[in-house]
Structure 1
Amino acid sequence: MNIRGKLIIIGGAVDKGSFTETDLDKNVSNNLNFFEAGILRRVLVEAKHQEKSRIEVITTASKIPREIGPEYIKALNYLGATNVDVLHIERREQATDPEVLERLKAADVVMFTGGDQLRLTSILGGSLFHDILLDKYQNEDFIYAGTSAGAAAASNNMIYQGSSHEALLKGEVKITSGLGLIDGVIIDTHFVQRGRIGRLFQSVVGNPRTLGIGLGEDTGLLITNNSRMEAIGSGLVILVDGRQIKDTNLTEIELGQPISVNNFAVHVLSKFDTYDLKTHKMHIQSSQYI
């Protein structure tokens, strides 16, 4: 199936400038060195009408939606976006509200903020809003952008719980269904900063066909046609490929016992590097061998 939409998934802590800090420089540009070459700039570059695109910031995952929404509006406005608003969906019945659905239909970009991905999927999953979102992503020149929880929820399978230090004990990582925009991957966020490699290892060893994607903070992937992935932002993307696993003790141990795995493949991408989900080929933009 040819997917017309684009997926931009971000590891969290997007460097959009914190306009609420009391010691912020009054000259906004001094606080926002991220913008010119960063992730939010790339969202606008990729959007259908660029700065004139209709953008809806969706705060469903957040416990402080009224505070976080205006942050994104200010950041996107600073970049030149002229048609940005916040869509607060805090209860499941709002996901069928005609006004809400019309705003989604009119959007060129939806930007899902961070928070709790289980809150996000439990409110939106299986709703009319979810149906329209999937249809737009599959059939229109449309961008789903999500940071932190918004990124983790984008795939079919979604990690929603599991501590970093106990992640390689059987049963410590909890997985449920996400929003289903992309299949064959599982996404974790704040990856490098919170030491979450073990969470991806356990997620992938249970189904080695699934590619684990670990997104560092202020780092993301631009995914086109559900296949070509390009690293964007300032940090690292870690890919965990389990297709070549030779052995594991996963089914022989009790819950809470350590998991052994032989022969994971791990790839590390930085800005402009690409990986193709169909061919499983990686291209390093600044390779020392070219």
Structure 2
Amino acid sequence: MKKILRSNCYIKSCLTLFAFLCLSTMQAQSPKGKLFIIGGGDRSDELMTQLLNLSELKKNDYIVVLPMSSGEPVESFTYFKSQLQNLTPNPIIMMNYDKTMVNNKVLNDSLQNAKLIFISGGDQTRFMNVVKNTPVYTAIHKAYENGSTIAGTSAGAAVMCEHMITGNQKLQTKYSETFDNIRYNNLETTVGLGLIKNVIIDQHFMKRSRYNRLLSALVEFPDHIGIGIDESTALIVRNKEIEIAGESEVVVVKKPKGITKSQKENLVSIKSLEMAIYTEGQKFKIK
């Protein structure tokens, strides 16, 4: 009898230890930082104040702007700085990386220690061509894991995903701001920063009627959540919870069922899916 009791106690102890280790691992994998993902367009002082409050900047903290998405990086930085310097006394620094700078340890350490990192608009592919598979990518992730806020607008929103929409169509050579149909194997995606998982983000969403593009993304990644962010509007991401900020709306589509692909011009049908529209202050969960 005593042997049985000792055996049961040993099993319970092992199970308790296993549960503790699993919980500790899950907690270790959860980043301490937040994301502030803007759908492009004008950024009101109120929206930027929400970003600053989220970042919890202390006296000695500083802000880093990464303008590599932009074709005019200095102008992009200047515009951002002119707005924020009226809202915060904290230093605002530009780090306009190119391929010759990505291994600079001093710069990367400074990037990693920034309390707020802001990624400008422009061309998301241009940004990732500089950052992908470099210490800059690692520094951004470490900053996020350690408690920094990572923010971005337009192209800077697209790069947040692991599967990043480039904006190009595989079946059409001419670029268009939106898609005029929903076809499979048409959406071009590439590797993004992967700061937010199991999510596809599209920006300027209502303004540029990008429903077809987001639905095309859901056909290619049916297990993901498609999120369309309108201009002057942002997602505040705290681990698995998203809150809406700003002036317009966010469209969320997920769980497509009955996807059928036709050989005729790559057309596709979806029997059903879930769709929701959120406005400022509302929240929802992601996987």
* Residue among 230, 253, 273 paired with 1:240: 253
2:151 is paired with a residue whose SS is strand
C-alpha displacement of 1:151: 0.7
| Counterpart contact for 1:231–1:271, Cα < 8 Å | yes
Q: Of Structure 1 and Structure 2, which has the larger fraction of its residues in helix?
A: 2
1:94 is paired with a residue whose SS is coil
Q: Are residue 205 (structure 1) and residue 212 (structure 2) matched?
A: no
* Counterpart mapping for 1:181-260 below 5 A: 181-225=195-239, 227-241=240-254, 243=255, 245-250=256-261, 252-254=262-264, 256-260=265-269
| Counterpart contact for 1:14–1:147, Cα < 8 Å | no
2:50 is paired with a residue whose SS is helix
Unaligned runs of 5+ in 2: 1-28, 169-175
C-alpha displacement of 1:105: 2.4
Which residue of 2 is the match for residue 18 of structure 1?
none
C-alpha displacement of 1:158: 0.6
Calculate the TM-score normalised by the size of structure 1: 0.82
Give me the CA root mean square deviation: 1.6
Unaligned runs of 5+ in 1: 16-33, 279-290
C-alpha displacement of 1:113: 0.4
C-alpha displacement of 1:51: 7.3
Q: Which has the larger radius of gyration?
A: 2
Equivalent position amino acid for 1:145 in 2: A
Equivalent position amino acid for 2:191 in 1: S
1:68-123 deviation per Cα after TM superposition (whole angstroms, max 9, x unaligned)? 1111111001112331111111x223121223213202310100000100111111
1:141-182 deviation per Cα after TM superposition (whole angstroms, max 9, x unaligned)? 201001011110111111002442334133332111111111
Which residue of 2 is the match for residue 30 of structure 1?
none
| Counterpart contact for 1:154–1:182, Cα < 8 Å | yes
Which residue of 2 is the match for residue 102 of structure 1?
109
When residues 160 and 246 of structure 1 are mapped into structure 2, their CA distance, relative to the original with a 3 A threshold, is same
When residues 84 and 206 of structure 1 are mapped into structure 2, their CA distance, relative to the original with a 3 A threshold, is same
C-alpha displacement of 1:52: 5.7
* Residue among 5, 30, 35 paired with 1:7: 35
1:238 is paired with a residue whose SS is strand
Equivalent-residue separation in structure 2 for 1:80 and 1:135 (angstroms): 24
| Counterpart contact for 1:240–1:266, Cα < 8 Å | yes
Equivalent position amino acid for 1:172 in 2: N
Runs of 4+ residues deviating >4 angstroms: none
When residues 157 and 271 of structure 1 are mapped into structure 2, their CA distance, relative to the original with a 3 A threshold, is same
* Residue among 147, 162, 183 paired with 1:156: 162
Which residue of 1 is the match for residue 5 of structure 2?
none
Equivalent position amino acid for 1:192 in 2: M
When residues 108 and 114 of structure 1 are mapped into structure 2, their CA distance, relative to the original with a 3 A threshold, is same
* Counterpart mapping for 1:53-132 below 5 A: 53-89=61-97, 91-132=98-139
| Counterpart contact for 1:110–1:144, Cα < 8 Å | yes
Equivalent-residue separation in structure 1 for 2:275 and 2:60 (angstroms): 39
Equivalent position amino acid for 1:3 in 2: P
Q: Are residue 270 (structure 1) and residue 284 (structure 2) matched?
A: no
| Counterpart contact for 1:112–1:150, Cα < 8 Å | yes
C-alpha displacement of 1:224: 0.5
Calculate the TM-score normalised by the size of structure 2: 0.83
Which residue of 1 is the match for residue 26 of structure 2?
none
* Residue among 140, 153, 159 paired with 1:147: 153
Which residue of 2 is the match for residue 25 of structure 1?
none
Identity value in percent: 26
Equivalent-residue separation in structure 2 for 1:4 and 1:107 (angstroms): 14
